[in-house]
Amino acid sequence: MSTTALVTGGAGFMGSHLVDRLLSRGHRVVVVDNLSSGSVENIKQHLDDPNFAFYELDLRDHNGLLKCVGEASVVFHFAANPEVRVSTVNPRVHFEENLLATFNLLDAVRQVGCVESVLFASSSAVYGDVSELPVDEAYPHPQPVSVYGAVKLAGEDLLAAFSKLYGLKVASLRFTNIVGPRIRHGVVYDFLRKLSNNAERLEILGDGSQRKSYLYVDDAVEAVLRVYDALDNGTEVYNVGNDDWISVKEIADIVTREAGKHGISYEMVPMTPDGRGWLGDIKFMILDISKIKGLGYKPRMSSYSAVQRTALSLMSELGLG
């Protein structure tokens, strides 16, 4: 018998790719999205599918949520404001759109009582600046350096509490940087947008030495489904990342080359004394993914290949090719 899955943020970048896979698996899928960063364009291919339903709804609308949650047995909570930099100038945005929204969703799940499992899109930002890399899930006392990371960590704690109190099966997925088709934020998209406006100079936030892992969205969705299939009881936390990492300067080289831009000069704009791109940025991050590999998961694409393929996809989508 097929399962009905509720995907919050299902019209967004990663959420829409998850929706594609869930439908291909034979699930019925209900999407809730307020379209603040998502787009109906990402899910338009499913609008006539009898196994698909879309509700334009803000997660802060508790009464509306009750109706949507009542259709599901599993919730994939991917709705969030993804812009880490926003929280440095307007921290209330991440509190309301990420943490308050997560509480409203879990409270609706509690009241309706039909949902068995909740999988939460958390972030490697929960760790903050760590003393040793790669970092695993057992890292003691994570200390986020952004409000975004702080509310993601608080969201994980809410899930754990609701699990103990109401018997939910929950998993928090601490994602690295996810890239791929449909993305409309992050460094690859930002570089292409800048190059379309100026073919001679590329502004790079930070000193270019920032180094992180990048994971192609298909690999990220595969990780989500591996965790869902293995989820048993209680609370689980999984790092979802890649085996390697890449610098911002290397990403700039890839994007400019794929865009056919030659002789581009780079202008480094460090926002902190140690060369970060913005306040709240983590300069170096790579995750230990041993735990999720125990579920049979392995990234098929390196950080380099993920960035390269994303650049090519976005050029086509944005008409820059």
Q: 3-state secondary structure string, the chain?
A: CCCEEEEECCCCHHHHHHHHHHHHCCCEEEEEECCCCCCHHHCHHHCCCCCEEEEECCCCCHHHHHHHHCCCCEEEECCCCCCCCHHHHCHHHHHHHHHHHHHHHHHHHHHHCCCCEEEEEEEHHHCECCCCCCECCCCCCCECCCHHHHHHHHHHHHHHHHHHHHCCEEEEEEECEEECCCCCCCHHHHHHHHHHHCCCEEEEEECCCCEECEEEHHHHHHHHHHHHHHCCCCEEEEEECCCCCEEHHHHHHHHHHHCCCCCCEEEEECCCCCCCCCCCCCCEECECCHHHHCCCCCCCCCHHHHHHHHHHHHHHHCCCC
Residue 175, strand partner residues? 123, 240
Q: How far apart are CA 308 and CA 19, in angstroms?
A: 24
148 is catalytic: yes
- The residue from 127, 139, 148, 297 that is catalytic is 148
The token pair that represents 140 in the structure block: 């003691």
Give the gyration radius of the chain's Cα atoms: 19
* Residues in CB range of 212: below 8 A, 6 or more apart: 176, 177, 245, 246, 282, 284, 285, 286
Catalytic residues: 148
